[in-house]
């Protein structure tokens, strides 16, 4: 039934000659190859904007997904949090090379040696609490997915273990839980309130939210699934397990506007944006700055962030020329491959997708 549904309902909206129109075929191909049940894309360049969608909203009931659908953005949340932290730097409330222990005394083991910069670019070497069984929102957790978590609980799990002293770069969600608490300490407001006050409202991002303990997504949205091995509906979940590391919900249009404003210098000082774009090697297929990933393409570097939360994959890319590609994919029996995703990016940014 699943294969028949995919064969019948694979579709993409596209306009001939629009920027990135060829991406629609790529989306449909990923769905047909069971890399996604639904796939959305938004492409903008000097010619204008193209949006497309492929697949089904619901594998049982069908329905075409809307290019304007809401989706969980996962770790793209980190870019919002990093932006707020850099704004606080601009306001003189902290410095990037301040030890985190100066601002949150006694919270982080070794906090006198771990800097704010080290948290932002994941060079802190703090253990990732999501590495522990039952603590990752990228995996099926049964009824536990509706449980509410507080940041202190997550840090207790993280600080109970240490990473091996291997000198390698380690991505850790723990860093951004600490940064969320830093924002709250310096402002007296929740990190979500600061994201809304400093970014969402000024930019008019009316379809971006910090959900807290709310389990659902606004409509319209495509359902997210997890193979168990059959597809299980994983759409509803309490995302507080991700908190400032990945709980936010948005749309392709809002993410594009955010990345354009950030990388266009509208949200921070030039010095802070330069710091955000100063990267370290990761060995993970991209370089990492302060809440930003840098991907090297044949025609140059694109900036942005990727995100994953069970049932949803997000990629928000922008080049310095102003081109952008925003993707949301709901994995099916497999995740879309790196080659499929970066192949679309090459077509958009290197001039082969028009």
State pTM to two decimals: 0.95
Q: What is the mean pLDDT of residues 66-90?
A: 98
Is residue 350 in a domain? no
Q: How many CB atoms lie within 10 A of CB 22?
A: 18
Q: Which residue has the tokens 């989306």?
A: 27
Is residue 351 in a domain? no
Is residue 94 in a domain? yes
- Residue 141: the pLDDT is 95
Query: Per-residue confidence at 14, pLDDT binned at 50, 70, 90?
Result: very low
pLDDT in tens, 185-227: 999 999 999 999 999 999 999 999 999 999 999 999 999 999 9
Is residue 170 in a domain? yes
Q: How many CB atoms lie within 10 A of CB 109?
A: 15
- Residue 7: the pLDDT is 39
CA–CA dist 168, 245 (Å, integer): 21
| Whether residue 129 has pLDDT greater than 60 | yes
> Burial level of 159, CB count in 10 A (0-12/13-18/19+)?
middle
Task: Write out the catalytic residue numbers.
Answer: 75
Is residue 13 in a domain? no
Contact 238, 147 (CB under 8 A): yes
Percent helix, percent strand, percent coil in the chain, to nearest 5: 35, 20, 45
Q: Could you list the residue range(s) of the whole structural domain that residue 126 is in?
A: 68-322
Q: What is the helix (H) or strand (E) element at residue 326, kind and residue range? A: strand 324-330
In 3D space, the residue among 4, 23, 5, 3 whose CA is nearest the CA of residue 13 turns out to be: 23
CATH of the domain at 91: 3.40.710.10
Give how many domains the chain has, as a whole number: 1
Please state, for a pLDDT cut of 70, what percent of the chain lies above it.
94
Show the tokens assigned to 36: 């996604």
In 3D space, the residue among 44, 32, 79 whose CA is nearest the CA of residue 340 turns out to be: 32
Q: Which residue has the tokens 């996604």?
A: 36
pLDDT in tens, 30-75: 999 999 999 999 999 998 999 999 999 999 999 999 999 999 999 9
Is residue 79 in a domain? yes
Show the tokens assigned to 181: 């608490």
User: Across the chain, what does the average pLDDT equal?
Assistant: 93
Query: Per-residue confidence at 96, pLDDT binned at 50, 70, 90?
Result: very high
Q: 125 φ, ψ to 5°? A: 65, 30
Query: Per-residue confidence at 98, pLDDT binned at 50, 70, 90?
Result: very high
């Amino acid at each position: 039934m699943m294969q028949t549904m995919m064969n019948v309902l694979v579709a993409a909206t596209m306009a001939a000659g629009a920027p990135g129109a060829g991406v629609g075929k790529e989306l449909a191909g990923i769905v047909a190859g069971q890399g996604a049940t639904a796939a959305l894309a938004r492409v903008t360049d000097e010619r204008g904007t193209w949006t497309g969608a492929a697949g089904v909203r619901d594998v049982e009931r069908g329905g075409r997904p809307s290019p304007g659908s809401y989706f969980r953005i996962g770790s793209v949340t980190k870019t919002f949090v990093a932006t707020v932290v850099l704004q606080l730097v601009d306001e003189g409330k902290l410095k990037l090379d301040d030890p985190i222990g100066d601002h949150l005394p006694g919270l982080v083991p070794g906090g006198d040696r771990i800097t704010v910069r080290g948290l932002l670019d994941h060079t802190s070497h703090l253990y990732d609490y999501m590495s522990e069984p039952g603590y990752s929102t990228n995996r099926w957790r049964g009824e536990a997915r509706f449980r509410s978590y507080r940041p202190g609980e997550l840090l207790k799990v993280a600080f109970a273990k240490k990473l091996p002293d291997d000198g390698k770069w380690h991505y850790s969600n723990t860093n951004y839980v600490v940064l969320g608490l830093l924002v709250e300490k310096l402002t007296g407001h929740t990190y979500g309130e600061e994201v809304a006050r400093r970014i969402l409202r000024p930019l008019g991002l009316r379809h971006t939210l910090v959900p807290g303990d709310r389990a659902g997504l606004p409509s319209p949205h495509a359902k997210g699934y997890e193979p168990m091995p059959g597809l299980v509906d994983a759409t509803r979940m309490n995302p507080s397990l991700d908190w400032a590391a990945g709980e936010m919900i948005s749309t392709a249009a809002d993410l594009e506007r955010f990345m354009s404003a950030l990388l266009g210098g509208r949200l921070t000082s030039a010095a802070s944006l330069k710091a955000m774009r100063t990267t370290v090697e990761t060995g993970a297929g991209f370089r990492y700055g302060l809440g930003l990933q840098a991907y090297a393409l044949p025609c140059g570097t694109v900036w942005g962030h990727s995100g994953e939360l069970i049932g949803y994959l997000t990629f928000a890319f922008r080049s310095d020329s102003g081109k952008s590609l925003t993707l949301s994919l709901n994995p099916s029996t497999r995740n879309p491959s790196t080659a499929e995703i970066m192949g679309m990016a090459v077509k958009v940014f290197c001039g082969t997708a028009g």
